[in-house]
């Protein structure tokens, strides 16, 4: 298969999208991004990686990090995690407090902010350094030692993070955090503020396409666990647009407000797209358009 | 593959489930069902069908009918359907009015009751006989001319249907029904009250495993449309337990409060299980247990 | 006290209000009303009545009727009523289904539509003719035999009443109606569609200012019951603007989307204002402005 | 009038209440209170004060303090306050985040926790010492220099205050706080943790019965402002049981989870009751029973 040619075609198709959306503007560091920027990488299960556009340029991975916190927390602590966080789609915007209240502090799933705070808390308990664990995993899988938290972005998140502080205190009020609120938030901001490129993320996500096996051949998760993370990605990975993403793209995927989207082709590989312009649900406009084009051109789909 | 032996193993495994749940009790006809009854059929894309237990015994298909109303409405009317109903998971119990209000009469997806009422309305507009269209499709695909609405069940549904009448009037109040409320409800009750067996439903669902092609080789849906219905099934097909079903079973599926669950193995076949005992989300306890066992034994999963 | 001069001053002050609002437009009969029309009547506990503007012109009393259904249902059936309806402010728009769902079919108070449907059901059970009971009471207290249901308005309400039909079916689904849904709705529409003038309503409401005593000296309610109805009026009588109405006007009152507002001056008398232009909460703009002016000019307030 | 004899009768009547409720248990200092303890004071507009039981014993005034923060913030800053907080009943438990989210960070009224946080923020801005302003006002009106914050209670509130921290951060996220979250919370906890007796609070509340005039004859609020605070007390002063309190008691009042309730008899005086056993809405069981008995015995009511 001519993966490189495919990426060129996908890029050309995505660029014809009628709109670009707007970069996230809740912190200055993200607002400065060019909504028209675009990069895309495709990695195969045997470790080959192809790219187009700004595919090596680091961007703020934001919520894409939540895929890795989930995988690492499950790898380290197992199913006990699910006592503190559910795995149902939320049906509400990603930072909603409403469901959290009606469900007594157990967030609906690990990918809404509230759920990711709980997962970060558990990963912090299990490893002593949640953000470091994510960073080290990304470095190891991508082979790129430059993957690191952008301290300025993390600080800016903290400065503008009243909503996340409210979520964390709220969860703590229900007894569902095991570490101090401020520590959990610091690690949460630090792993969201990791800067990495499409190439890095595509490689780091390959364990999900390889049914749990890391780049070095060691096993991170069982085959069943890897499939199950893909299931949670498909039903919950793209905020409250997960249904539409499954309908249009048909692949497990995780998006972030930095404009990145990482999608999994089980048994085949991964794709990571980046473009900072977001739709109203917080997903990259060109990123989703590119994945839509990719699956239309190839017929790839889990269905 | 020894499908028959597989079904025996799955049945034995499911029977070890520690609980049986309770049959739906909102209408007398359903409450009388034995929660311990069990049947299962597996159909392959080439039209073979295997069964175990009460696999040919007719039961009330209830919400499993919604899979067929959706497919027929899309086949007849195309994407215009999506203007009146969404395709996002609801995050609320299947008969909730809350989201309907906040979303101005556009139901979240075609499988919650409110959404199915809209789909029934459109299918009625397109065909003049929504319940008849579903019945005829089931008869044609299964080759079983006995598939028919149980008039007593339909009448009982109507007698106890204040909640559905509320939903329908509510939607009509937003201008999202094209036929009189009473007509839409009559067809809704009639297709939910169809009696069919696991064998019939497994055969009738094969078009989703065959990427849109019917038993006679004609095309009901495009390949892309068939995949997309599978996507909606996976994200929304099992009420507000869709995330857990995707996690545990990993297949597109549709359940009904009559105890049936129809699941799709894309490219491979379909499985239909029936057991009337329900969990709190309204899904068959043994049905989900059997599908869990099936996928554990075989490794089948879309992920 | 020069009540007549006071009414002139109040009218002049209200007319200076910067806006007029819009007449209710959900049924044609109401939409045709002139938002600038204005009438006001003041009745004293000794039976005198004063008026200004269109104070004798009949208008559609709409939800003002709910004050009378409540009083009559309590007079006939006593506190048993409160088992099926609460007396807490709703904090939501007057036709919301959300709270009804979370509170299992027991409406929050007798003045939201859902609560008034329950009260109508009980009054129908107690009298056999709920709308007739309200009409007869209004005729007796006002001495005006022309007070009657406008059949065209009632029919129009029924034609456009999907939302109320939804509410009633929803409540019936929880077992909180004792008569058939269609009967209850017919009486509900019939008492809402009564046409009466400010003069009629001011006289008919005097029993609340006279601590339970009717025009003929007979007792409708105990002193304590009359006070308690005033309390419910103050906390719940003006939809989800009850807090603001209490703050600005400081009197128990009931409004309707026909533009009428009936307020009680305990121990002193009643005031009824009518002007069809409504604010976003469904209360008459000039009506509330006039009551605000009246209490500012006189210092009248329950506080 | 024999006020002293009246208080004895009220106490005897209240003691016959079939239940006592439970003391608030979210912080140890409150949980230790005896649910059977009881005190009551009645102050007349001319400054006389009568008492029964533990009427001089200090207790934690908790949310009763919110009456004073509201009065002082209005006295100092005027109606500008209402841009950041509403005055509608909430229809939800007193610490709910749901409405806060749907209403974009503007709390429904000054007496739910979220609203009181905003009022504290404004009073802090206006005076530089919100808790000190409340303390000093209570001392001046009661003539009791021992009224003071119980530092241990305030510290305990802060230790267990994740829910309030969540509220405050949430409001800050909408830009509706003018001081740092931690400062606002410190003052909030400090004024809630003031210890004062029934005698002190009855005297301190007299300005509302005297239409705005303080003990020394100076004016705190205009006549109209005082009435309006009474209106907000009546519609919102007793959490989500305000409708029932208005129905049963018929007086403006403010309760706290320390077991205190302060009620206003406009033009006549004030009553303060204390008993730590709470009902499910957070109001003192014996306190409300005593006020119910008082108004039944005397016929006092604003209606």
| pLDDT confidence of residue A35 | 85
| pLDDT confidence of residue B100 | 83
Is C81 in the B-facing interface, judged by CB distances under 8 Å?
Answer: no
Is B224 in the A-facing interface, judged by CB distances under 8 Å?
Answer: yes
Annotate A152-211 with three-state secondary structure: HHHHHHHHCCHHHHHHHHHHHHCCCCCCCHHHHHHHHHHHHCEEECHHHHHHHCHHHHCC
Backbone φ, ψ for residue B64 (5° rounding): -60, -25
Residue C225 among known ligand-binding residues: no
pLDDT above 90 as % of chain A:
88
User: Which whole-number Å values give the CA distances from C171 to B165, C177, C178, in the listed order?
Assistant: 11, 7, 10
Residue numbering of the annotated binding site of B for substrate:
63, 113, 157, 164, 188, 239, 257
- Let me know how many helices (H) and strands (E) chain B has, helices first: 14, 8
Number of inter-chain CB pairs under 8 A, B vs C = 50
For residues C137 and C142, give the distance between their C-alpha atoms in angstroms, rounded to a whole number: 8
Residue C85 among known ligand-binding residues: no
For residues C49 and D49, give the distance between their C-alpha atoms in angstroms, rounded to a whole number: 43
Structural domains present in chain B: 3-298 (3.40.710.10)
Average pLDDT, chain D: 95
pLDDT band for position A95 (cuts 50, 70, 90): low
pLDDT band for position D95 (cuts 50, 70, 90): low
Check if the beta carbon of residue A24 is closer than 8 Å to that of residue A35: no
Residue C8 among known ligand-binding residues: no
| pLDDT confidence of residue C1 | 87
Residue D63 among known ligand-binding residues: yes
Angle between helices B151-159 and B181-192 (to 10 degrees): 130
Query: Touching C: which chains, 3+ CB pairs < 8 A?
Result: B, D
Backbone φ, ψ for residue D49 (5° rounding): -140, 135
Average pLDDT, 10 consecutive residues per value, chain B (303 residues): 96 92 89 91 97 98 98 97 94 69 89 96 98 98 98 94 94 96 98 98 98 98 96 94 95 97 98 96 96 96 95
Check if the beta carbon of residue C57 is closer than 8 Å to that of residue C41: no
For residues A166 and A14, give the distance between their C-alpha atoms in angstroms, rounded to a whole number: 37
Is B169 in contact with C181 (Cβ distance < 8 A)? no
Is C165 in the B-facing interface, judged by CB distances under 8 Å?
Answer: yes
User: Which whole-number Å values give the CA distances from C87 to A242, C115, C220, D278, D292, in the listed order?
Assistant: 41, 9, 20, 20, 17
Check if the beta carbon of residue A287 is closer than 8 Å to that of residue A15: no
For D45-57, what is the mean pLDDT? Answer: 97
Place of tokens 């309305």: B121
User: Please, which residues 131-160 of chain A have a Cβ atom closer than 8 Å to chain D?
Assistant: none
A302 contacts in B (CB within 8 Å)?
A: 266, 302-303
How confident is the model over D137-153, as pLDDT tens digits? 999 999 999 999 999 99
Calculate how close chain D gets to A163, using CA atoms only, in Å.
5
Q: Which among A97, A169, A181 is the nearest to D101, CB-wise?
A: A97
pLDDT band for position C94 (cuts 50, 70, 90): low
For residues A180 and B9, give the distance between their C-alpha atoms in angstroms, rounded to a whole number: 49
Is A266 in contact with B232 (Cβ distance < 8 A)? no
List all residues 6 or more positions away from C112 whose beta carbon is below 8 Å from its beta carbon: C90, C94, C95, C96, C236, C239
How confident is the model over B135-168, as pLDDT tens digits? 999 999 999 999 999 999 999 999 989 999 999 9
How confident is the model over A175-198, as pLDDT tens digits? 999 999 999 999 999 999 999 999
Residue D36 has pLDDT above 90, yes or no: no
A228 contacts in B (CB within 8 Å)?
A: 247-248, 250, 303
ipTM of the complex: 0.94
For A261-265, what is the mean pLDDT? Answer: 98
Strand order in the sheet with C194-196: C59-60, C194-196, C148-149
Check if the beta carbon of residue D30 is closer than 8 Å to that of residue D276: yes
Q: D41 is written with which tokens? A: 């004071």
Model confidence, pTM: 0.92
| pLDDT confidence of residue D126 | 98
| pLDDT confidence of residue C95 | 59
Is A103 in the D-facing interface, judged by CB distances under 8 Å?
Answer: no
Residue D187 has pLDDT above 60, yes or no: yes
Check if the beta carbon of residue C265 is closer than 8 Å to that of residue C221: no
pLDDT above 70 as % of chain A:
98
For A234-243, what is the mean pLDDT? Answer: 93
List all residues 6 or more positions away from B185 whose beta carbon is below 8 Å from its beta carbon: B117, B158, B161, B164, B165, B168
For residues C281 and D198, give the distance between their C-alpha atoms in angstroms, rounded to a whole number: 39
Residue C157 among known ligand-binding residues: yes
Query: Touching A: which chains, 3+ CB pairs < 8 A?
Result: B, D
Concatenated DSSP letters for B137-157?
A: HHHHHHT-TT-EE-HHHHHHH
How confident is the model over B10-50, as pLDDT tens digits? 999 999 988 889 999 888 888 988 888 999 999 999 999 99
Is D232 in contact with C240 (Cβ distance < 8 A)? no
Which of C27, C107, C162 should be substituted to probe chain B, the one whose Cβ sees the most B Cβ atoms within 10 Å? C162
For residues C152 and C145, give the distance between their C-alpha atoms in angstroms, rounded to a whole number: 19
Closest CA to D201 of D29, D60, D93: D60
Q: A302 is written with which tokens? A: 């889990």
A87 contacts in B (CB within 8 Å)?
A: 243-244, 247
For A134-154, what is the mean pLDDT? Answer: 98
Is B90 in the A-facing interface, judged by CB distances under 8 Å?
Answer: yes
| pLDDT confidence of residue A91 | 72
Is A99 in the D-facing interface, judged by CB distances under 8 Å?
Answer: no
Is A185 in the D-facing interface, judged by CB distances under 8 Å?
Answer: no
For C265-276, what is the mean pLDDT? Answer: 97
D185 contacts in A (CB within 8 Å)?
A: none
Closest CA to A251 of A242, A213, A110: A242
Is A243 in contact with B223 (Cβ distance < 8 A)? no
Is B301 in the A-facing interface, judged by CB distances under 8 Å?
Answer: yes
User: Which whole-number Å values give the CA distances from A122 to A86, A232, D166, in the listed order?
Assistant: 14, 18, 20
């Amino acid at each position: 298969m001519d993966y490189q040619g495919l990426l060129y075609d996908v890029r050309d198709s995505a660029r014809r999208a009628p709109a670009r959306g707007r970069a996230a503007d809740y912190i200055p560091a993200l607002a400065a991004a060019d909504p028209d920027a675009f990069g895309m990488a495709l990695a195969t299960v045997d470790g080959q990686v192809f790219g187009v556009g700004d595919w090596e340029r680091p961007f703020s991975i934001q919520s894409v990090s939540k895929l890795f916190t989930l995988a690492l927390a499950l790898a380290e602590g197992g199913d006990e995690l699910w006592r503190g966080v559910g795995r149902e789609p939320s049906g509400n915007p990603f930072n909603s407090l409403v469901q959290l209240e009606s469900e007594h502090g157990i967030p609906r799933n690990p990918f809404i902010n509230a759920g990711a705070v709980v997962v970060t808390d558990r990963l912090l308990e299990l490893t002593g350094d949640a953000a470091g664990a994510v960073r080290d995993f990304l470095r190891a899988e991508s082979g790129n030692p430059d993957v690191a938290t952008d301290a300025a972005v993390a600080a800016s998140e903290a400065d503008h993070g009243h909503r996340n502080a409210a979520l964390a205190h709220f969860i703590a009020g229900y007894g569902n955090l095991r570490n101090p609120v401020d520590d959990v938030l610091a690690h949460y901001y630090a792993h969201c503020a990791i800067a990495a490129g499409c190439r890095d993320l595509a490689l780091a996500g390959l364990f999900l396409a390889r049914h749990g096996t890391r780049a070095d051949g060691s096993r991170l998760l069982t085959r069943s666990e890897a499939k199950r993370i893909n299931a949670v990605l498909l039903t919950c990975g793209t905020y409250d647009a997960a249904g539409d993403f499954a309908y249009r793209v048909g692949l497990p995927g995780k998006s972030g407000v930095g404009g990145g989207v990482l999608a999994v082709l089980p048994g085949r590989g991964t794709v990571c797209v980046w473009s900072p312009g977001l739709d109203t649900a917080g997903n990259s406009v060109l990123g989703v358009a590119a994945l839509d084009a990719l699956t239309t051109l190839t017929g790839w789909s889990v269905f």
